[in-house]
Chains A and B, each alone.
Chain A
Amino acid sequence: MAGLNKSDFANPLINWIDTRLPIFTMMQKEYGVFPTPKNFNYFWNFGALAMVNLAIMIITGIFLAMDYQPNAELAFGSIQHIMRDVNYGWLIRYVHQNGASMFFIVTYIHIFRGMYYGSYKYPRELLWIVGVVILLLMMATAFMGYVLPWGQMSYWGATVITNLFSAFPAVGPKIVTLLWGGFSVDNPTLNRFFSLHYLLPFVLVGVVFLHVAALHVTGSNNPLGIDVKSPQDTLPFHPYYTIKDSVGVCVFLIVFSALVFFAPNYLGDANNFIPANPLQTPADIVPEWYFLPYYAILRSVPNKLLGVCMMFGSILMLFVLPWLDTSPVRSARFRPIYRQIIWVWVVAVIILGVCGAHKPEGIWVILSRVCTVYYYLHFLVILPVLGKLERPLPLPESISRPVLGGRGGGPRPGSARAKPMEKA
Chain B
Amino acid sequence: MADSSAAATHHGPDPTKRDFLQLVAAAGAVIGAGAIAWPLIDSMNPSKDVLALSTVDVELTPIVEGQGITILWQGKPIFVRHRTAAEIKEAEDVKLADLIEPQADQARVKSGHDQWIVLIGICTHLGCVPLGNKPSDPRGDWGGWFCPCHGSQYDTSGRVRHGPAPLNLWVPPYAFETDTKIKVG
Number of interface residues of B (CB under 8 A): 10
Task: For A81, list chain B residues within 8 Å (CB).
Answer: 47, 49
CB of B48 within 8 Å of the partner chain: yes
Contact for B48 among A59, A63, A66, A84, CB less than 8 A: A84
Interface residues of B in 32-49 (CB under 8 A from A): 39-40, 42-45, 47-49
Task: For A60, list chain B residues within 8 Å (CB).
Answer: 40
Cβ–Cβ contact B43 & A89, under 8 A: yes
Task: For B39, list chain A residues within 8 Å (CB).
Answer: 87-88, 91-92
Closest-by-CB residue of B relative to A89 is: B43
- Minimum C-beta distance from B29 to chain A (A): 11
Cβ–Cβ contact A85 & B47, under 8 A: yes
Cβ–Cβ contact B48 & A92, under 8 A: no
Q: How far is B46's CA from A81's CA once the two chains are assembled, in angstroms?
A: 12
Cβ–Cβ contact B43 & A67, under 8 A: yes
Q: How far is B47's CA from A234's CA once the two chains are assembled, in angstroms?
A: 52
Task: For B49, list chain A residues within 8 Å (CB).
Answer: 81, 85
Given contacts A81-B49, A85-B49, contact A66 B44 (CB under 8 A): yes
Interface residues of A in 52-87 (CB under 8 A from B): 59-60, 63, 66-67, 81, 84-87
- Minimum C-beta distance from B49 to chain A (A): 4
Cβ–Cβ contact B40 & A89, under 8 A: no
B155-177 interface code vs A (CB 8 A; 1 in, 0 out): 00000000000000000000000
Task: For A86, list chain B residues within 8 Å (CB).
Answer: 43, 47-48
Task: For B44, list chain A residues within 8 Å (CB).
Answer: 63, 66
Given contacts A81-B49, A84-B48, contact A59 B40 (CB under 8 A): yes
Cβ–Cβ contact B43 & A85, under 8 A: no
Q: How far is B98's CA from A388's CA once the two chains are assembled, in angstroms?
A: 100
Cβ–Cβ contact A92 & B40, under 8 A: yes
20 A-B pairs in the complex with CB atoms less than 8 angstroms apart = A60-B40, A63-B43, A63-B44, A67-B43, A67-B47, A81-B47, A81-B49, A84-B48, A85-B47, A85-B48, A85-B49, A86-B43, A86-B47, A86-B48, A87-B39, A87-B45, A87-B47, A88-B40, A89-B47, A92-B40
Extra contacts, 17 of them, besides A63-B40, A88-B39, A89-B43 (Cβ < 8 A), are A59-B40, A60-B40, A63-B44, A66-B43, A66-B44, A67-B43, A85-B47, A85-B48, A85-B49, A85-B50, A86-B43, A87-B45, A87-B48, A88-B40, A88-B43, A91-B39, A92-B43
A-B pairs, 10 with minimum CB distance: A88-B39, A85-B48, A85-B47, A87-B42, A85-B49, A86-B47, A88-B43, A87-B43, A63-B40, A91-B39
Give chain A's interface residues, CB within 8 Å of chain B.
59-60, 63, 66-67, 81, 84-89, 91-92
